Structure 1
Amino acid sequence: MKKSSTQFVGREPEMKRLKGLLSSRCANLIVVRGRRRIGKSRLLLEFGKELKSIYFTGNPPMKKVTAQTQRDVFVRQLERVGIPGVKADDWGNIFWHLSKHTEKGKVLIVFDEISWMGGKDPQFLGHLKTAWDMYFSKNPNLILALCGSISSWIEKNILSNTGFLGRIVMDLVLDELPLQSCSAFWHPKESCITPHEKFKVLSVTGGVPFYLEQIKPNLSAEQNILELCFTRGGLLVREFDDIFSDLFSRRKGSHKELVTCLANGPKELVQICKELGKSQGGLYSQYLDELVKAGFIKRDHTWDLKSGKPGKLSRYRLSDNYLRFYLKYISPNHAKIDQGKVSDSILNSLPGWEAIMGLQFENLVTHNYKILWELLNIPAEEVVMDGPFFQSTTTKQLGCQIDYMIQSRFNTLYLCEIKFKKGLIGKKIIDEMEKKRQRLKIPRYFSIRPVLIHVNGVEESVLDEQYFDKVIDFSNLLM
C-alpha cells in the first residue's frame, strides 16, 4: 500500500475491532463503509501496517467505463503487486490467481470502492463468493475487506445477498470523527487556537478527516475557509460535484435536488415532495434512503413517549456540514470563484450566517451523542430513545421542536437546547426553553430535565436561575 504522509488521527474503537480479527483462528470477510472522504481506506492502510497488505480499487463510473475496463484495471494492479500474466477475461480466473499469491501467512486484501469494481458485471459477486468459499477462506490468517462509499449498493448486493449469508463477520460503518479527535488537526498549535475558531472550521468540514487534513494551523479559521471554499480550484469548491458524480452517477441531479431542499432545515417527506413537485413514494423515497445510507442526511423519527417506540412521523435532516455550507455559500458564488473575483472579506457578509452556524453546531452535537450521554451521566443501556424531537400541531396540541431529546428508562426526559452564539447567552434562553416544555405533551409520570449546550459561555443570571439541570460547554471537547 501507498504510505501516507499525514498524521493518522482518532479511530481507536474501529482500530480495536479490526485488531481483534488478528487473534481469529479462521479467515475473515469484512465490510467497511461510510461517507466519501471519511477515512475508510486510510483506516485499512494503518491497520495493514501490521501484516502483508494488498490494495485494489475500482475505476470511477465514467461513461466509457465497462465491466471489461474494471477487470483490466484490476489485472494491472495485480501486476504491480507481483502477479503478472493474468488474463482479464474472467473474475473467477483473476481471483484464483490472487488467492494463489495469498495462500499463507497474515495477509489483508482490500477491495476498495467495491460497487465500482463489480457494479456493471452481473457475474462479479457470484465469482467473489465462490472464490471466498474455495480459495481465500482456506488461509486462516487472511482478511478480505470489501470497502465502499455507496452503502445502499453494499447493503443490497452484499449484506442482504443470500450468497454472502453467514460469511460477513464484521460490518464496520465509519462516521465522522468525534470532537475530541478533531483538535489534533491543528497540531502543533492546538492549544493556542480557541475552540470558537475551531468550531468555525468544523461548521464547514464537520468531522470528516480528509477535509480536516487540509487545515493549515498557521492560518486563521477565516483564511483556511477562504482558501478551501472561495479560491479557484479549492478542494471544497470542486468536492460537491465530485461527490455526486462518483456516488450517484446518472441520478445525481435528483440527489442534488433533495439535499438542496434540506439546506435550510429538516423537512417531512410530504414537505419535500411538495416543494419539488414530486409524488410521495417511488424513486424519491429511494433516493432519500440512498442519501441516508451514504451518510449525508439523517432520518429523525419522532416517538411515542408512553411506549418509547418510534412513531410514523419522521423528518429528513441534512446532517453533513460541508454540503449545507456549499449549497448556502459556495454554490451562489461559484461563477465569481471560478473567475477569481471573490473578495477576501466575503466571510464578513455571508447572509444568514449565524442561523446556519446554529444548524451546523446542532449537527456536531448530535454526531457526538455518545459524549453527551457521558457528560449527562446516562449509561447507554438506560437510553430508550434519543434524537431531534418534534411534535406536530393538532386540534389537541401545539407544535414544538426540541433540538435534541433523550428518554431514559426511568421515565426522565432530557430536553437539550443547543445554542451557538458569538457572545454570552442571556436569560432569554430560559423563556424559550420553558415555552417548548409547556407545549410538549408529556405523560404525568415523567420527570423533565432541561439541558443547555453552548460554546461561548452563558451570563451569570442564567446560572443563578438554576433552571437548567445541566449547562454543558461543548468547547471543552476542543481544548
Structure 2
Amino acid sequence: KTKESSNLFCLMGRRRIGKSTLIQEFSKGFKNFFEIQGLGPDSHPSLQVQLDHFASVISLKFNSRKEHFEDWSEAFYALAKLTKKKEWLILLDEISWMSQGDLHFALKLKEVWDVAFKKNERLFLVLCGSVSSWIEDNILNNASFEGRISGQLNLGPLDIVEINQFWEKRHCHYSAMEKIFLLAITGGVPKYLEEINYRLPVESNLHSLCFSKNGFLFNEYKKIFLDLFKRKGPILDKIIRLCLTQKLSMADLSRKLKKRQDGDISRYVHILELSGFLSKDYSFRPSGEAMRSAHLRVTDNYLRFYIKCIEPLSLRIEKASLQITSLHQWPNFESILGYQLENLVHFNKASIHQQLHLTPQQILSSAPYFQNKSSENRGSCQIDLLIHTTMDLFFLCEIKSGELDKKVIAQIKQKMDRLKLPARMALRPVLIHLADIPSSLLSEYRRFFYQTVAFQQLLTEKGHHATPAMPHVPGAF
C-alpha cells in the first residue's frame, strides 16, 4: 500500500448483486473496518430512528457510550473523530435509505468529508447503495462533490467465467443444460445463485424458490419495486411490463404512457438502466457510428421470469396447490427461454468474441441490429447480434434456443440477403445455439456457417480471469 491521500468511492448496483460482499472482501486489506447499513423503508424509519441506529452501531463497534445525535452533521463528525488515526475502510451501505428525512444529507456528508474525514490520509470511505440513481443525483452529479470522488463502480451480475468459478467452488455437478435453466432464471445474480442447494435436483430447488409461497424468488419482485423504488415503483413496473410485450423505442414507450419523451420517461428509463434492469440497444452503421434510435430491452432475467412464469400462478402458489416436478412443466418457460438466452449472450459477449478468435482491438461494434424496410434495401430484418470488426468484416450471429432444422439456414440467408452493407464488406454467419445440431444436418451446417457456438459449452470451461475486485483508484494506498 502507498500512503498518498484519503479516498471517497461510490459503489452502485442492483439489489442482491454482491456490493456488500465485495467491500467485505476488500476490507481484508485494511487494519480497521467500519460498516453500517441504512434501515430499510419497509419499517418506515424516521430520521431520528436512522440517527439512533447509527449511534448504536458506533457504540458497539468502538465499545463506547451510545451518543444521541440531533442530525447527520453530528453523527458524521463523531465517526470522523473515531477514525481520524490509523488505517480505516468505512462503508456507508444503502445510503439512500440512510438519507431519508433529511434533504441536506449529502451536503452534510460533503462538509464533514472536507473538514474531517479526508484529513486521515489512510481513510477509504465507500458510499454504497442499490438505488443507483440516488448516488448519481446526490453525489456524482452534485457540484458540491466535484473533484472529491476518487472512483466509482456500477457492479453487474457475474459473467460466465465468474459463474464457472462460483460453481466450481461449490462442487456443482449439474449438467450444462441444467445450468442454462438456472441462469435463465437468476441471470447470474450472486445472491440468487447462493440460495440454491446444490445437493438437490434443479427442479426441487426452483420449486421451493419460485413456486412456494415462502420462496425467496416468489417474494423478491415486490421487494424490488416496492421497497427499492417506493413511490416510483408502480410506473417503473409498468415500463418493465410494456418492454416485455414488444420491442419499443423511447418514442414508442412515450406514446404508450402518454407522456413526453424528454420529461419523466427519460428519467424513469435511466433509473432502470442504472439498476441493471433495462438497456438501450443501439444499432450501429457500417462506419461503427451508433444510430440515434434505440430499442429498450429488459436485461434482468429474473424480472422476465417472474412476470411470465411465476406471477400467473401466484394464487395457486399462495394456496400451496401447485406441484411442478419437471422443468418443462413450467408455464410459458419454453416461450421465454429464447429471450433469456439472448440476455445471457449479450452480457457475455466477451466470451462469444473469444470463441470467434476476435480481440477487443478488432471490434468496432457488437450489438443487436434492426433494419427498417426502405427504398434503399430489400426489406426489414432483425439480427440478434451483429459484430463489426476491422478489415471490413461483419459477423451475423443468430441465437437459437429451440430445435435446429433446415429452416434456420433459410431464415439466416434471408437476413443476409436483406441486410444492406457496402459492397466491400464481407459477412460471416454464426450460430449460437442450445440444442444439438442433428447429425443429418451437420455437414450442411458446417458448410454454411462460419462457426457454430454451443452456448452450454461455455459453462463447462474453467475461467481464467479473477473474481470481481475493487478497481485501482488513482491516489489509493
Asked whether the two chains share a fold, i.e. TM above 0.5, the reply is: yes
Segments of 5+ residues of structure 1 without an aligned counterpart are 1-21
Structure 1: how far apart are the matches of 2:86 and 2:293?
Answer: 52
CA RMSD of aligned residues (A): 2.1
- Aligned partner (choices 18, 28, 32) of residue 39 of structure 1: 18
What is aligned with 2:383? 402
Give the SS at the match of 1:386. strand
Matched, 1:340 2:320: yes
Q: Deviations over 1:190-234 (max 9, x none)?
A: 563211011111111110000000111122222211111001110
8 Å CA contact retained: 1:196, 1:456:
no
**TM-score, normalised on structure 2?**
0.90
Q: Structure 1 residue 477: deviation in Å? A: 2.1
* Matched residue, 2:4: 25
Change (3 A) 1:26 1:203: same
Letter in 2 for 1:155: E
Which residues in structure 2 correspond to 1:389-428 (within 5 Å)? Answer: 389-397=369-377, 398-421=379-402, 425-428=404-407
Equivalent residue for 2:107, pick from 118, 126, 129: 126
Task: Report matched runs for 1:297-446 at 5 Å.
Answer: 297-306=278-287, 308-345=288-325, 347-397=327-377, 398-421=379-402, 425-446=404-425
Pick from 247, 252, 256 the counterpart of residue 271 of structure 1.
Answer: 252
Distance of 1:265 and 1:365 partners within structure 2: 19
Deviation track 1:222-267 (CA, whole Å, cap 9, x = no partner) reads 2211111001110001100000112210121111111111224532
Q: CA deviation at 1:150?
A: 1.4
Q: Could you say which structure has the greater relative contact order, defined with CA pairs below 8 angstroms and 6 or more residues apart?
A: 2
In structure 2, C-alpha distance between the alignment counterparts of 1:292 and 1:188, rounded to whole Å: 31
Residue of structure 1 in register with 2:469 after alignment: none
- Out of 96, 102, 117, the position equivalent to 1:136 is 117
In 2, Cα distance between equivalents of 1:201 and 1:328: 16
Do the aligned partners of residues 137 and 447 (structure 1) sit closer, same or farther apart at CA in structure 2, a change above 3 Å counting? same
Shift of 1:346: 7.2
Quick one: distance in 1 between partners of 2:423 and 2:59? 70
Q: Distance in 2 between matches of 1:146 and 1:339?
A: 42
Contact 2:401 2:433 in 1 (8 A): yes
| DSSP 3-state at the match of 1:335 | helix
2:358 and 2:327 map into 1 onto residues whose CA distance is: 39
Deviation at 1:367, TM superposition (A): 0.7
Amino acid at match of 1:133: D
Q: Is the 8 A contact 1:297 1:319 kept in 2?
A: yes
Matched, 1:80 2:57: no
1:253 aligned partner: 234
Tell me which residue corresponds to 1:243. Answer: 224
Say whether the 8 Å CA contact 1:185–1:215 is kept in structure 2: no
Which secondary structure state, in structure 1, belongs to the residue aligned with residue 8 of structure 2? Answer: strand
Structure 1: distance between partners of 2:335 and 2:412: 18
Q: Which moved more, 1:455-464 or 1:406-415?
A: 455-464
State the partner residue of 1:9: none
Aligned residue type for 1:138 = K
Pair 1:241–1:444, CA change in 2 (3 A)? same
Q: Which amino acid aligns with 1:358?
A: G
Distance 2:42 2:170 in 1: 41
1:438-477 correspondence runs (5 A): 438-460=417-439, 461-464=441-444, 465-477=446-458
Percent of residue pairs identical: 35
- Matched-pair contact (CA < 8 Å) for 1:186–1:217: no
**1:185 CA drift (Å):** 4.8
Equivalent of 2:200 in 219, 225, 228: 219
Q: Matched residue of 1:457: which SS?
A: coil
Range with greater deviation from structure 2 (321-330 or 163-172): 163-172
Shift of residue 415 of structure 1?
1.2
Shift of 1:470: 1.8
CA distance in 1, matches of 2:220, 2:366: 32
- 1:344 aligned counterpart, secondary structure: coil
Deviation at 1:184, TM superposition (A): 4.7
CA shift digits 1:41-70 (9 cap, x unpaired): 011011112321110111223574333332
Instruction: State the AA in 2 paired with 1:128.
Output: L
Kept in 1, the 8 Å contact 2:372–2:381? The answer is: yes
Q: Distance in 1 between matches of 2:386 and 2:202?
A: 31
Aligned partner of residue 86 in structure 1, secondary structure = coil
Change (3 A) 1:188 1:116: closer
Q: 1:59 aligns with which of 26, 39, 47?
A: 39
Structure 2 match to 1:8: none
Is contact 2:308–2:332 with CA below 8 Å preserved after alignment?
no
Segment drifting more, 65-74 vs 35-44? 65-74
Q: 1:150 to 1:316 in 2, by over 3 A?
A: same
Quick check: 105-114 or 455-464, which moved more?
455-464
Q: 1:285 and 1:49, CA in 2 relative to 1: closer, same or farther beyond 3 A?
A: same
Q: Name the structure 1 match of 2:212.
A: 231
Q: Is the 8 A contact 2:35 2:93 kept in 1?
A: yes
Please give the per-residue CA displacement for 1:13-38, whole angstroms capped at 9, x wherever unaligned. xxxxxxxxx44521111111111100
Mean Cα deviation higher: 377-386 or 143-152: 377-386
Partner of 2:184: 203
Q: Distance in 2 between matches of 1:198 and 1:347?
A: 12
Q: Distance in 2 between matches of 1:76 and 1:231?
A: 37
Map of 1:36-185 to 2, 5 A cutoff?
36-51=15-30, 52-62=32-42, 64-82=44-62, 83-185=64-166
SS of 2:370 mapped into structure 1: strand
SS in 2 for 1:216: coil
CA shift at 1:166, angstroms?
Answer: 1.5
Give, as a single letter, the amino acid of the residue that structure 1 aligns with 2:34: I
Q: Compared with structure 1, are the counterparts of its residues 63 and 135 closer, same or farther at alpha carbon in structure 2 (3 Å cutoff)?
A: same
